[in-house]
Structure 1
């Protein structure tokens, strides 16, 4: 195992809610699988804390992150399996939270941290992505899904409102009227609807989900890592930062060795 991955293994060896996967053959990425199947991968404080630990490592060791769920026996037919991304915040914990807990922004701060990671984040989604689980998906840079995916924001039916990104990320992704309908009615979207609304980048059969996620990560890995990081950072800046931010990003990259090497290789191929 590489030195970097050894440090990650040391940090995450006691994890209870996340399974962290790394492969020295793919040193450009980390896979984080949510693994609380008994509660449909509900996002509790333990999972939040473990994601923060992972983010801390990724901020110091930039890698593409693939976030996914787990596969469990189907409740109606144990001979079959079903995928679960995340059913939302842990209702048992959410039930006890009060005003000060809301103001701490437990999930919103985590999802913003995930969104701001230096390298891209890919959400590989199968089954339910509801409430906070959907908001985690909206915070990713890319979403690949299966034909079995179900997105929904059921918060108003529970007497609360979304507070971890759906209010603005969903509006940016799908438009105001679609976002408002999902937020105020609790309607769930299937894979076909999500693809039509461009909420997901692609749809696959469940057994092909991780292959699709890794293929996307492969395409990212074929690019220059610094150029990817700068492009992601500049892309996320507010409108008033452009074009100055674009020019600053280009100025940084114009001095990188990779720029000279890759452009020379292009010229050599053309010859």
Structure 2
């Protein structure tokens, strides 16, 4: 179990683990889930575990709390207090970019369940996921240039791939903030849900992924992100591996048996 393999209690993250998935909730609500050094270190611990024990990863923020009036939030960005003190060597170390890239490269799919603000590094964390679902109150954007820096943890290249260059430039140069409908129309998010249903929707998506053959999912994710010049050769090599897997024989035989049973039942009518 993840919580048992980590050397001390998680502080910036809340962890729920199931047989085929890990749900990580960003858990610094007092500072709107600002991404600080502790959160980065704990996300590295999560990645180390999931690299050894491949499972689907769900990342969400802090849900709304009607009792206190607190709104739901994914992540407001990097911790500005810490960011203010960072210097050249910190930038070259890629503190946030390295963890987001590691998340993106996890063996199994990553789902970002986004409620409320996902700004700056919070948005870049969401971009690193394979799937993004959101609530009606989601706000996505890159305010970095207003703070005298650039969006250096993925937005400057991932956004072009996700929404196209014109919209990406509006986000990174002009401070445009996308609301839920705009993000849905741009396919930056693929589903919109009421806040109370968001985590359940993420688990429903994880259920659909979990129903597939895990090895086929892992290999598909890796091959999908290969450069264009690697295809079709890498596809053929990957298929050669899967053609020898027992799951392929079992699943295809189950498909054939099911079809035969349907045909026999139809003939008896």
Both structures adopt the same fold (TM-score exceeding 0.5): yes
Match of residue 29 from structure 1: 21
1:201 equivalent in alignment to 2:196: no
1:43 equivalent in alignment to 2:35: yes
Match of residue 69 from structure 1: 61
- Aligned partners of 1:84 and 1:127 also within 8 Å: yes
1:98 pairs with one of 87, 96, 105: 87
Match of residue 12 from structure 2: 17
Alignment of 1:106-121 (within 5 A): 106-121=95-110
- What RMSD, in angstroms, separates the aligned Cα atoms of the two structures? 1.2
Gaps of 5+ in 1: none
Alignment of 1:81-160 (within 5 A): 81-160=70-149
Give 1:15 deviation, angstroms: 1.1
Give 1:101 deviation, angstroms: 0.7
Give 1:171 deviation, angstroms: 0.6
Q: In structure 1, what is the Cα distance between the partners aligned to 2:239 and 2:50? A: 24
Q: In structure 2, what is the Cα distance between the partners aligned to 1:187 and 1:234? A: 33
Gaps of 5+ in 2: 261-269
The count of aligned residue pairs is: 260
- Aligned partners of 1:119 and 1:229 also within 8 Å: yes
Give 1:12 deviation, angstroms: 6.5
CA deviation map 1:180-218 (0-9, x unaligned): 011111111100000000000100010010111000000
2:239 pairs with one of 232, 241, 250: 250
- Aligned partners of 1:8 and 1:57 also within 8 Å: no
Question: Which SS does the other structure have where 1:84 is aligned?
Answer: coil
2:254 pairs with one of 236, 241, 265: 265
